Amino acid sequence: MKILVADDDKEIVELLSIYLQNEGYEPVKVYTGQEALNAVRSTPELGLLILDIMMPELDGMQVVKTLRKEDSQIPIIMLTAKTTDMDKIKGLVAGADDYVTKPFNPLEVMARVKSLLRRTKMSSEQNQPEILEVGSLIINRDSHEVTTVDGVAIQLTALE
């Protein structure tokens, strides 16, 4: 799974990338807010975004707000030196899913990544309709509809 790491501090990007690779993820590295926004828009297979707040071009808060206005549901962990409660609240209200303050322990960030991905996966699985395919029939157990593989709806009685 690809995870975007966006921070203007190249050492932080490299450090997190090493930890992500060690956990089996594929880091995508960017260094400005605009690059982060462009990468999210052009890389649909991104599973998560680790985003610094204070970056050139666009700050992280603007990136989060823009993505949420575009209905992007990508999980976002804010990474920042801003430590006041108000800063954290602003980040979460803007649409971030988690908030980590600098300096940070990379192992904690990896634990938060795994936790957020686990919760996101469970949520998306719950939103998926249960579909069964039997021969040439497709049965949607949630909507109680039956269609053929050609898309022809089959009318059933309530008992059926």
* pLDDT tens for each residue of 119-155: 877 544 444 566 777 788 787 766 778 888 777 888 8
| Cβ neighbours for 113, distance < 8 A, ≥ 6 positions apart | 3, 20, 23, 25, 48, 50, 77
Residue 66 pLDDT grade (very low, low, confident, very high; cuts 50, 70, 90): very high
- pLDDT at 114 exceeding the cut of 90: yes
**Contact by Cβ (8 Å): 32, 57:** yes
Q: Is the pLDDT of residue 29 over 90?
A: yes
